[in-house]
């Protein structure tokens, strides 16, 4: 036991000694959460618009009035029809509204900058809403779970899924491989310390570091980002711990497969990071992917973690709704641990 403790102490010194890496590990998750919470929004809330009036009546005036007072638009003034193309090409405006026709038969044309599809679609929708008279609104829309439509809600679970892979898998595999490269691993293996103790002693400090990060991220999400706090936060913590163990096992597996630090980095980037960012549903919805990629996404642990976290963190559903995801993650963890242990013990 005291041997394990001293191995842990040695590894913890390794981590804390490199102050810059420590700062960055703590800095990345905090900055990511704050950026998503306060700076980045997928919502389109500032459409720069110009109008072309070929018809002067009170309806035209009324529409321009509405556009210039609407917080979702920045009114860039009147323009000539021939100038619109140039303004769009230079990126000075996002959309233009052309008012034509006679008194009784008004005609409208919306010209958008289709090079940004999301802005184009949303701008057309906003303008159509302005053109429509309010009496026609006979549909009442309200939003469940996220009434302010903050995009941070969707991203917090995704960021957590990414950070744990980064810290646990990447850092552990690199730290083990570094010892292999510099030869100190051999030194440890010829000492009377049992190999399993060395491996466990190397993993525990990273586990503790991840737990600190978990607490920090939960604090930021609940206090600064104002995610709805709920008694079931224990479920969130439990599921995250399972995922952390899974990521540690992945790191161990990678370290047993490669020989150099650069290779460990590249493998964890290509095999772990990229799929987590691209295929886990963190940014891009899984429903939109072709069939083959959707199948591949099923073997990515982060996919199950993120969808379960969305259910319990934001929708605040009870545990039975994430039973399937939890079982899948647990089975994956067991498989990876058994492979990693077999591979690592073979090397000695």
Partner 1 sequence: MNIRILRILLFKEIQLLKRHPIVPKIIVVLPVMAMLILPLVANLDIRSVGVAVVDNDCSELSRCIVSDMAASENLVISGVFPRYDRALEMVERGDADVILTIPSNYSRDLERGLTPTLALSANGVNATKGMLGSRYAAQSSGATVSRWMKERAVYISSGLSTVQDFQTKQDVAAVLNLYNPTLNFRNYMIPALMVVLIIIICGFLPTLNLVTEKESGTIEAMNVSPVGKFTFVLSKLIPYWIIGLIVITVGLIVGWLVYGLVPVGNVILIYLAAILFSLVMSGLGVTIANRSSTILQSIFVIFAFIVIFQLMSGLFTPISSMPQWAQYATYAIPPRYFIEIMRAVYLKGATFCDLWRQYMALAGFAVMFFIVATFSYSKRS
Q: Which of residues 261-280 bind partner 1 (CB under 8 A)?
A: 261-263, 265-266, 278-279
- Choosing from 165, 314, 332, 340, the residue that interacts with partner 1 (CB under 8 A) is 314
Residue (125 or 334) nearer to partner 1, CB: 125
Is the distance from CB of 56 to CB of 45 less than 8 angstroms? no
Helix (H) or strand (E) segment spanning residue 199: helix 195-219
Site for partner 1 in 40-59 (CB under 8 A): 40-48
Site for partner 1 in 236-255 (CB under 8 A): none
# residues near partner 1 by CB under 8 A:
96
- Phi and psi at 34, nearest 5°, equal -70, -40
Q: Are strands 47-53 and 73-78 parallel, antiparallel or unpaired?
A: parallel
95: number of Cβ within 10 Å:
24
Shortest spacing between CB 282 and partner 1, in angstroms: 11
Shortest spacing between CB 2 and partner 1, in angstroms: 29
299: number of Cβ within 10 Å:
12
Per-position b or e across 267-288, b if 16+ CB within 10 A of its CB: bbeeebbebbbebbbbeeebee
Site for partner 1 in 75-104 (CB under 8 A): 85, 88-91, 94, 97
202 binding partner 1? (CB under 8 A)? no
314: number of Cβ within 10 Å:
18
- Choosing from 171, 242, 244, 258, the residue that interacts with partner 1 (CB under 8 A) is 171
Shortest spacing between CB 117 and partner 1, in angstroms: 5
Looking at 122-130, 199-207, 225-233, 336-344, which segment touches partner 1 (CB under 8 A)? 122-130
Residue (2 or 143) nearer to partner 1, CB: 143
Looking at 166-174, 229-237, 239-247, 340-348, which segment touches partner 1 (CB under 8 A)? 166-174
Residue (38 or 338) nearer to partner 1, CB: 38
Cα 251 to Cα 29, 102, 160, 201: the distances in Å are 19, 70, 17, 14
Shortest spacing between CB 296 and partner 1, in angstroms: 10
Residue (327 or 335) nearer to partner 1, CB: 327
Structural tokens at position 2: 């005291």
Question: What's the order of all strands across the beta sheet hosting 73-78?
Answer: 73-78, 47-53, 95-101
The Cα 251–Cα 344 span in angstroms is 12
Residues 6+ apart with CB under 8 A from 267: 173, 254, 257, 258
Shortest spacing between CB 317 and partner 1, in angstroms: 5
Is the distance from CB of 253 to CB of 339 less than 8 angstroms? yes
Looking at 3-11, 167-175, 198-206, 236-244, which segment touches partner 1 (CB under 8 A)? 167-175
Shortest spacing between CB 339 and partner 1, in angstroms: 24
């Amino acid at each position: 036991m005291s041997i394990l403790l001293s191995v842990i102490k040695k590894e913890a010194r390794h981590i804390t000694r490199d102050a810059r890496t420590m700062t960055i590990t703590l800095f990345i998750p905090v900055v990511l959460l704050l950026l998503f919470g306060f700076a980045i929004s997928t919502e389109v809330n500032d459409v720069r618009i110009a109008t072309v009036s070929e018809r002067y009546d009170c309806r035209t005036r009324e529409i321009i009035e509405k556009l210039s007072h609407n917080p979702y638009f920045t009114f860039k003034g009147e323009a000539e029809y021939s100038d619109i193309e140039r303004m769009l090409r230079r990126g000075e405006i996002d959309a233009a509204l052309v008012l034509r026709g006679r008194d009784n038969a008004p005609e409208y044309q919306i010209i958008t900058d289709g090079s940004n599809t999301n802005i184009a679609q949303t701008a057309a929708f906003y303008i159509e809403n302005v053109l429509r008279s309010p009496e026609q609104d006979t549909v009442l829309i309200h939003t469940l779970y996220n009434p302010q439509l903050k995009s941070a809600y969707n991203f917090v679970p995704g960021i957590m899924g990414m950070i744990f892979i980064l810290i646990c898998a990447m850092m552990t595999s690199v730290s083990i491989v570094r010892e292999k490269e510099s030869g100190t691993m051999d030194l440890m293996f010829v000492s009377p310390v049992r190999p399993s103790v060395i491996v466990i002693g190397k993993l525990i400090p990273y586990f503790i570091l991840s737990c600190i990060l978990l607490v920090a991220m939960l604090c930021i999400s609940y206090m600064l980002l104002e995610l709805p706090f709920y008694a079931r936060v224990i479920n969130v913590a439990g599921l995250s711990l399972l995922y952390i163990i899974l990521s540690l096992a992945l790191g161990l597996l990678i370290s047993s497969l490669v020989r150099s630090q650069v290779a460990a980095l590249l493998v964890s980037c290509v095999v772990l990071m990229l799929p987590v960012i691209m295929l886990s549903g963190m940014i891009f919805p899984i429903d939109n992917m072709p069939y083959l990629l959707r199948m591949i996404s099923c073997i990515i642990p982060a996919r199950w973690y993120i969808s379960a976290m969305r259910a319990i963190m934001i929708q605040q559903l009870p545990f039975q709704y994430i039973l399937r995801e939890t079982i899948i993650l647990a089975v994956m963890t067991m498989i990876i641990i058994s492979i990693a242990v077999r591979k690592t013990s073979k090397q000695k």
